[in-house]
Structure 1
Amino acid sequence: MADFAPVATLEGDASFDAYVAKPDATASAAIIVIQEIFGVNEGIRRKCDSWARAGYLAYAPDLFWREQPHVELDADVPADFDAALGHMQRLNQDQAIRDIEATIRAARAAMGGNGKVGVVGYCLGGRLSFMAACRTDGDAFVAYYGVGIDGLLGEQHAIGKPVLLHVPTADGFVPPEAQKAMHDGLAANRHVTIHDYDGLDHGFAAEMGARRDPAAAELADRRTAEFFAQHLA
């Protein structure tokens, strides 16, 4: 069962929608799926549905809600891509992290207050997932092709839970020098694991569209599933 449901902000002064997919049986853990710059579109909803089929309670918060609720864009449509960049530039990422924390709390409450919660994000969501590892009380964090993580390395001292990064080496939005900074800067952090995907570009694990590389997406998703199975048990 899946549909949008309201989530209260941390301040309790407003609410925003999150797509919520529920498993058939009672979930003992939840996964927060953090959108790309294209909003909580069909691809993100499919990822939630997949986690629900695997037995998790899955939430995808609408992080653009303060500017425009329910943005749904297609990465393969040039006009949509341009619009998505505008939404990303207008997003207050610190506020987005607070909305992610609110979603983590909502997921825990839905499980009776004591279930573990993982966070997985893509593109912009990959960056936000890394930020969430530094700033929220989630239990495990995964970032697919997160942009600008090299500029966040000063926050890594706050990471106390497992983090997994999927890094395509030909990412047009994360140049080689940024990738090297990530590898060098995180090498001594015992909580962080990095997997490289040689020759692949940004968006390779999208659920649909021209960006998807099926073999690499399946490999990365299997690693993510094993990671969450280990750390959310």
Structure 2
Amino acid sequence: MSDSLTAATIRITGHDGDDIEAYLARPEGQFPRGGVVVIHHMPGYDRGSKEIVRRFAELGYDAICPNLYTREAPGAAPDDAAAVARAQGGVPDARLVGDVAGAAAHLRALPSSNGRVGVIGYCSGGRQSVLAACNLDLDAAVDCYGAFVTGTPPEGFPLQVTNLVDQLPQLRAPLLGLFGAEDSYPGPAQVAELEQILTAHGKDFEFHTYEGAGHAFFSVDRPSYNVAAANDGWERIAAFYAKHLGA
């Protein structure tokens, strides 16, 4: 397998037949491989999110990141688009599921697809990754410090979200969760609650919590970046997807 890849901005069919923007990266060659849907964090469809898409392509997967803010702010800079979406309460859950479904369908339609697709999300995208895995036929899901999978948003929280406790019994895919011990949303108690619920329902999951790491420890361009936690997290993601999607 070569580490050469191609990447491009494309259009895909999202929720309710909407035409939305997405960023697609693919390894060179037509060997059979799995696909990964990357759900961007609340700051938006930005350079960091696209770098993650390319990283999965370098690991041997077709990877795509749908621009969840296409409708609110088409063509806007990531920060501006995120501000508009946040002011409107964030991305509705039903629309998120539809957009991820469209992204997964696009990956499965590629001639290189082996039929298996995983999803991964960071920050708000971590919650949305779990949401997608509760409602779609996916083969693996990764939650990177997603807030309010369990727990309750504080008063004045800018996004109109609820927890997913009532949906967790429907989880359809193995789940990898990566969390920071110093995070508040999700805090250790919320992670423990999630673990208890998934255990009670016999779900396939593995969680890892990193001491000394807070929220957004994967974000290389933010003060929260934690080298040790991020490096170990990437190794665990690679192994998890190799097991469930095929490297």
Q: When the two structures are superposed, what TM-score results if normalisation uses the length of structure 2?
A: 0.84
Q: Which residue of 1 aligns with 2:7?
A: 2
Conserved 8 A contact 2:139-2:173: yes
Give, in angstroms, the shift of residue 18 of structure 1.
Answer: 0.5
**3-state DSSP class of the match of 1:64?**
coil
Q: Percent identity?
A: 30
In structure 1, the partner of 2:72 is: 67
Q: How does 1:53-202 map to 2 (within 5 A)?
A: 53-70=58-75, 72-73=77-78, 83=83, 86=86, 89-111=89-111, 114-150=114-150, 151-188=163-200, 189-202=202-215
Contact 1:64 1:71 in 2 (8 A): no
Report the Cα distance in structure 2 between the residues aligned to 1:88 and 1:177, rounded to whole angstroms. 29
Partner SS, residue 232 of structure 2? helix
Residue 227 in structure 1 maps to residue 231 in structure 2: no
The whole-number CA distance in structure 1 between the counterparts of 2:231 and 2:22 is 26
The Cα of 1:177 is off from its aligned counterpart by: 3.1
Residue of 7, 19, 23 corresponding to 2:23: 19
How far apart are 1:184 and its partner, in Å?
2.2
User: Which range moved further: 146-155 or 172-181?
Assistant: 172-181
- Cα gap change, 1:149/1:190 in structure 2, threshold over 3 Å: closer, same or farther? same
Moved more, 185-194 or 219-228: 185-194
Q: Which runs of 5+ in 1 are unaligned?
A: 75-79
CA distance in 2, matches of 1:95, 1:184: 28
Question: SS of the residue aligned with 1:4?
Answer: strand
Moved more, 14-23 or 2-11: 2-11
Q: Note if 1:213 corresponds to 2:217.
A: no
The alpha carbon displacement at 1:110 in A equals 1.5
- How many matched pairs? 227
User: Residue type matched to 2:25 in 1?
Assistant: A
- Asked if the contact 2:119–2:138 (Cα under 8 Å) also holds between the matched residues in 1, the reply is yes
Contact preservation (8 Å) 2:182, 2:211: yes
Against the structure 1 CA distance between its residues 73 and 167, is the aligned structure 2 distance closer, same or farther, given a 3 Å change threshold?
same
Check whether the contact 1:62–1:70 (CA below 8 A) recurs between aligned residues.
Answer: no
Structure number with the higher helix fraction is 1
With the length of structure 1 as denominator, give the TM-score of the two structures: 0.89
User: Displacement of 1:53 after TM fit?
Assistant: 1.1
CA distance, structure 2, for counterparts of residue 205 and residue 177 of structure 1: 21
Is the Cα–Cα contact under 8 Å of residues 136 and 172 in structure 2 kept in the other structure?
Answer: no
Distance 1:49 1:101, change over 3 A: same
Deviation of the 1:143 alpha carbon: 0.7
Q: Distance in 2 between matches of 1:178 and 1:84?
A: 29
Listed one character per residue, the Cα deviations across residues 162-194 of structure 1 (whole Å, up to 9, x for unaligned) are 111112121132234323322322233331211
Q: Secondary structure at the match of 1:31?
A: strand
- CA drift of 1:214 comes to 1.1
* Distance of 2:78 and 2:206 partners within structure 1: 31
